[in-house]
């Protein structure tokens, strides 16, 4: 928690209450202690030692927050007009220029909170750079897709030339994307092909090609299988989506691999008969291969100057980028889960302390009140018993003695000083149920850190 982070509604209401000074606010009650401590940690209130429980007093920073709506130490941010003054909005960002800008900035380039159109322009530049000829551009990573500062960096630079803050594990990806050399494709299958290649050869329905292209597809798949094995991946047949298809398994990330033959319109088709002039020409297999990586990923195909075999290096560069992004995302999620659990456990510990304090306090106050009531009733009997004197009617005297006798027995029955078992049977260290701790958790769910968090009222 940073001092300048915005207060929630409960904290803001408490700060106003302390600032008004109309009533005394202390951290004696567990329902107020956590909120007072949170305000004190931000420097908005103080709790100087006084007789009894410390009394919360507002500071100059607290008065500033109430007057301006933010902490006096909040960093100044540039205006929207200043944020919009960047090359992306003025002239666009060329992929080659983007890589040079990142390298010139020491491997990490930050654009402070750009406008949506500007942010989209930078993202397009990153995607275009990844598909460029420069091998290092395929390693470009970024954070801040939808909001906040947009940061673009190179993992290799971040490990050697950036500052310690930029090289923090909280922002860098978990792995470095290796460079992808060209992948060689043999002319013939080896004596022991990969099991997936054998399966495709025996069940050609896993791919969508004509029989004439099947031998070529098999050697391409064998090259892909060999290269995935060298990179620690695995070529598999995936059936999780209800149909069988090829995929690359990279340690938790399954990337769909689709190979098919493209179609083209027939050029030798006779003109349509009269009455059917709008019939479209038939589509026939073209003899050219197409490979797609991922459900909505990039596609490579045979072209006029190169074939699919020549572009396997590009395919694995794209695959490595996906794997690096996946591992970075998983590492960030695991780190966030660990940090969230640590905050939840800290909140649970504080809630147990607050619950135990309130539990003991309520019990001892109830016993004290019972003792005071018993003592008061005995004094009351001592006063009313002599009031019924001999001149009074005998029925009055009997009624008075009956009442004083009953009140004496009742006082003895509620007096904890005469019932030591009341203290001996009390559980001094209670074991609260999860729902018992909810009032003290300031929005956390007592059943676990992943069960949801709500802002306290």
Q: Residues of the chain with pLDDT > 90: what percent?
A: 16
Same domain, 84 and 58: no
Same domain, 201 and 315: yes
Same domain, 323 and 388: no
Same domain, 327 and 376: no
Residue 373: the pLDDT is 95
Look at residue 121 and tell me if it is in a domain. yes
Maximum alpha-carbon separation in the chain: 136
Same domain, 297 and 410: no
Same domain, 418 and 325: no
Look at residue 95 and tell me if it is in a domain. yes
Give yes or no for residue 349 having a pLDDT over 70.
Answer: yes
Span of 148-162, 178-192, 311-325, 360-374 with lowest mean pLDDT:
148-162
Look at residue 424 and tell me if it is in a domain. yes
Give yes or no for residue 317 having a pLDDT over 60.
Answer: yes
Token pair for residue 228? 């995935």
The residue among 270 and 45 whose pLDDT is bigger is 45
The residue among 21 and 254 whose pLDDT is bigger is 254
Residue 339: the pLDDT is 92
Q: How far apart are CA 29 and CA 202, in angstroms?
A: 75
Same domain, 229 and 316: yes
Residue 369: the pLDDT is 94
What stretches of 69-168 show up as alpha helix (H) in DSSP?
A: 80-83, 87-90, 95-104, 116-130, 155-158
Rounded average pLDDT over 113-140: 78
Give yes or no for residue 220 having a pLDDT over 90.
Answer: yes
Same domain, 202 and 133: no
Residue 63: the pLDDT is 87
Look at residue 163 and tell me if it is in a domain. no
Give yes or no for residue 176 having a pLDDT over 50.
Answer: no
Measured CA distances, 298 to 128, 291, 393, 422, 442 (Å): 12, 9, 108, 75, 46
The residue among 30 and 2 whose pLDDT is bigger is 2
Rounded average pLDDT over 412-435: 88
Residues 6+ apart with CB under 8 A from 120: none
Rounded average pLDDT over 156-175: 39
For 63, other C-beta atoms within 10 Å of its C-beta total 14
Look at residue 51 and tell me if it is in a domain. yes
Helix (H, G, I), strand (E, B) or coil at 110: strand
Predicted confidence (pLDDT) per residue in 382-398, tens digit: 888 777 765 667 777 78
Domain with 403 in it: 344-440
Same domain, 15 and 128: no
Look at residue 415 and tell me if it is in a domain. yes
Rounded average pLDDT over 148-164: 61
Residue 330: the pLDDT is 86
Residue 368: the pLDDT is 93
Rounded average pLDDT over 183-205: 88
Helix (H, G, I), strand (E, B) or coil at 277: coil
Predicted confidence (pLDDT) per residue in 364-379, tens digit: 999 999 999 999 999 9
Look at residue 152 and tell me if it is in a domain. yes
Instruction: Specify the number of domains making up the chain.
Output: 4
- For residue 80, name the pLDDT band (cuts at 50, 70, 90): low
Predicted confidence (pLDDT) per residue in 227-267, tens digit: 999 888 899 888 776 677 888 998 778 888 888 888 877 66
Same domain, 262 and 223: yes
Residue 224: the pLDDT is 92
Give yes or no for residue 27 having a pLDDT over 60.
Answer: no
Q: How far apart are CA 135 and CA 156, in angstroms?
A: 12
Range with top average pLDDT, 49-58, 181-190, 356-365: 356-365
Residue 172: the pLDDT is 38
Look at residue 182 and tell me if it is in a domain. no
Same domain, 55 and 121: no
Give yes or no for residue 454 having a pLDDT over 60.
Answer: no
The residue among 53 and 147 whose pLDDT is bigger is 147
Q: Residues of the chain with pLDDT > 70: what percent?
A: 77
Residue 222: the pLDDT is 93
Same domain, 257 and 296: yes
Give yes or no for residue 167 having a pLDDT over 90.
Answer: no
């Amino acid at each position: 928690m940073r001092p300048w982070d915005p207060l929630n509604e409960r904290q803001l209401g408490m700060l106003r209450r302390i600032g008004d000074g109309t009533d005394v606010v202390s951290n004696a009650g567990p329902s107020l202690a956590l909120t007072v401590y949170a305000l004190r940690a931000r420097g908005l209130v103080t709790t100087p030692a006084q007789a009894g429980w410390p009394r919360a007093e507002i500071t100059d920073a607290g008065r500033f927050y109430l007057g301006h709506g933010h902490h006096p130490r909040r960093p100044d941010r540039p205006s929207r007009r200043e944020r919009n003054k960047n090359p992306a909005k003025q002239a666009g960002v060329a992929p080659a220029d983007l890589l040079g800008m990142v390298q010139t900035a020491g491997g990490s380039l930050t654009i402070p909170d750009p406008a949506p159109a500007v942010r989209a322009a930078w993202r397009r530049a990153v995607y275009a750079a990844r598909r460029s000829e420069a091998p290092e551009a395929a390693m470009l990573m970024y954070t801040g897709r939808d909001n906040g500062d947009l940061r673009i960096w190179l993992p290799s630079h971040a490990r050697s030339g950036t500052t310690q803050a930029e090289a923090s594990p909280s922002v860098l990806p978990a792995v470095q994307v290796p460079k992808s050399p060209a992948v060689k494709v043999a002319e013939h299958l080896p004596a022991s092909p990969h099991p997936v290649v054998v399966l495709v050869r025996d069940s050609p329905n896993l791919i969508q090609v004509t029989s004439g292209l099947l031998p070529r597809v098999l050697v391409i798949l064998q090259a892909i299988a060999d290269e995935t094995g060298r990179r620690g991946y695995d070529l598999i047949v995936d059936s999780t989506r209800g149909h069988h298809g090829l995929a690359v398994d990279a340690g938790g990330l399954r990337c769909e691999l689709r190979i098919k033959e493209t179609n083209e319109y027939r050029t030798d088709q006779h003109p349509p008969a009269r009455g059917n002039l709008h019939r479209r020409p038939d589509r026939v297999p073209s003899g050219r291969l197409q490979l797609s990586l991922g459900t909505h990923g990039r596609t490579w195909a045979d072209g006029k100057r190169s074939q699919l075999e020549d572009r396997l290096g590009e395919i694995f560069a794209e695959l490595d980028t996906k794997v690096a992004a996946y591992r970075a995302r998983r590492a960030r999620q695991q780190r966030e889960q660990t940090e969230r659990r640590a905050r939840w456990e800290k909140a649970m510990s504080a809630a147990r302390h607050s619950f135990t304090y309130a539990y003991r306090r309520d019990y001892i106050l109830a016993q004290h009140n019972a003792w005071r009531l018993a003592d008061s009733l005995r004094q009351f009997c001592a006063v009313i018993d002599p009031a019924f004197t001999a001149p009074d009617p005998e029925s009055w005297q009997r009624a008075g003695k009956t009442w004083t006798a009953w009140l004496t027995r009742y006082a003895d029955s509620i007096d904890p000083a005469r019932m030591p078992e009341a203290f001996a049977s009390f559980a001094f260290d209670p074991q609260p149920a999860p729902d018992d701790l909810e009032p003290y958790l300031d929005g956390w769910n007592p059943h676990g850190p992943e069960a949801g968090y709500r802002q306290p009222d």
